[in-house]
Amino acid sequence: MIPKKKARTTVKAKIRELIQNAGAKPAQDLIKQINAVLTGWVNYFRIGNSSQAFSEVRDYTEMKIRTLLTRRKRRRKRSIGWQRWSNEYLYGVLGLYWDWKVLPLKSAESFR
């Protein structure tokens, strides 16, 4: 099963809404809410050929979180967010969801 564009747009809208409504909420609390959305979405579309869609949503999520962190630190150069907040920081320290593996259909049949 491949996530359609509408499904990708919907999950990105949910992530955007969570980040916009974060206010002064600590980053770890925000990441917990984002992880809940991502976990459900990824588990639903995990079976099949979803790796490109997963990459799109993962990159979007990383960009939005880095932008939020840059805004909170009030840095002038927004283009260096990926250097200041590396993947190790996002996934290790903040605990952003990282289980984006796609299950082939063959092993998925064993779940039925």
Over range 27-53, report the average pLDDT.
92
For residue range 56-104, list pLDDT tens digits in order.
999 999 999 998 988 887 766 655 656 678 889 999 999 999 888 887 7
Over range 22-43, report the average pLDDT.
94
Residue 111 neighbours by CB under 8 Å, 6+ apart: none
Integer CA distances (angstroms), 110 to 15, 69, 85, in order: 32, 42, 40
Nearest to 48 by CA among 86, 97, 20, 7: 7
pLDDT of 7 strictly over 80: yes
For residue range 8-20, list pLDDT tens digits in order.
999 999 999 999 9
- Tell me the sheet residues that pair with 47: 103
pLDDT of 112 strictly over 70: no
Determine the angle formed by the axes of helices 27-45 and 5-20, rounding to 10 degrees. 170
pLDDT of 31 strictly over 90: yes
pLDDT at 36: 96
